[in-house]
Amino acid sequence: MIEWLALPAIITGAALIPKKKITDEKKIQTIFENRRVGIKKDDSFLYPKLYKKHDNEQYSTYLYTLPLGIPSEAFETIKSAIVDGLNKDIEIEFDGLLKIKVYKQKLPEKWSYTDDLLNEGKWEIPIGRNHEGILYHDFDKYPHMLVGGVTRFGKTVLIKEIFYSLLMNQMENVEFYILDLKGGMEFGHYVGIPQVKEVSSDIFESTELLSTIIEDLKERQKSMRLKQYTNIVDTPIQKRTFIIVDEGAELSPNIVEGDSKKYAKFCQAALSEIARIGGALGYRLIFCTQYPTKEAVPMQVKMNIVARLSFIAAAQIASRVILDDIGAEDLPSIPGRAIYKIEKNRTIQVPYIDDKYMFSKLEGKQDAVINAVKDRKSTHNN
């Protein structure tokens, strides 16, 4: 009887033995092997080899040497597999060695904008939070920005946050021209603010608006040339002119039909000129589209914009149009989650702001906003 009971007891005992936890290091190595990220040599595969591991309070860093012949882009294609396998946020960089940062805490899925984020007197706006803190974008350092991603994931919220931050930081110096090609529904409410020079709602109004801007640009170019100024950031001129385009695809000659095509061609040419020469003259272009295709984003606009930001993209090709890189198509379906790119990709969560907050704050500072325009210094009138 004892013998009959012995086998089940052994099986039960084995089941109670705690399984050894698989380390992140082992999981990453298994993913390399399962996804065949390596080089075939004779009858075997050579995989990335762990060189060092560092730990701190926020993340662990794994450094790998790579067999010759593996492109760094190969690791972007398996980034989502590593994220899913570890169930943790990661960042991948390549600088001689493959560097994989594995974070101990996940990014928040939402965080709210507050006026504590403002940086008065600066041209910096809070672009988002990553694992290492809040990132700011400086429009005097990187004048233009290209923004893309599918609808309802945060583009318009981001544009409003940029608009509000610049307005609060630089009431006396900022002015806005807004091409709200969603029929003026998003920014039409802000027409009464003195710093908002004009809001256009369709391709025809945008043509007139951009004509005005190009004329002003030529005048400012002439004025600065006479003073031998080469870049506005090195002059006493404080004024900056922001041109915000919300849904730039509506200005594509390949998308619109009929007589609209000739207006679209003019608009794209004007935006290209602003992107090409406007930065040094104090013009800042923020071009946004939910249809990031080569037809929707003029080549001259794209080539002259260093700063890119993409929310989740519909496909790899859309990610490449915005970032010149893949990755945005694999972002989690979280509103506000984006990749911000200057020199390298950073995954961020964009702060959330809504019209109610903005209206409330603007009403509280109504006198200051209006008086700021009246008190503009003569050096602004170029």
β strands within 18-123, DSSP E: 39-41, 44-46, 49-55, 59-65, 90-95, 97-103
Q: Tell whether 106 is in a known binding site.
A: no
Q: Tell whether 308 is in a known binding site.
A: no
Q: Tell whether 327 is in a known binding site.
A: no
The radius of gyration of the chain's CA atoms, rounded to the nearest angstrom, is 26
Longest dimension (CA), the chain: 107
3-state class (DSSP) for residue 318: helix
Give the side-chain half-sphere CA count within 13 A for 365: 17
The Cα–Cα gap between 146 and 294 comes to: 13
Phi and psi torsions of 330, nearest 5°: -100, 5
Q: Tell whether 235 is in a known binding site.
A: no
Nearest residue to 369 via CA among 197, 241, 196, 194: 194
DSSP 332: -
Q: What angle do CA 253, 257, 258 make, to 5 degrees?
A: 110
Q: Tell whether 155 is in a known binding site.
A: yes
The Cα–Cα gap between 348 and 118 comes to: 18
Helices (H), 111-184: 155-169
Q: Tell whether 152 is in a known binding site.
A: yes
Q: Give the DSSP per-residue string, 233-301.
A: GGSS---EEEEEEE-GGGG-TTTS-TTHHHHHHHHHHHHHHHHHHHHHHTEEEEEEESS--TTTS-HHH
The Cα–Cα gap between 103 and 347 comes to: 12
Which residue ranges make up the annotated binding site?
149-156
Which residue ranges make up the annotated binding site for ATP?
149-156
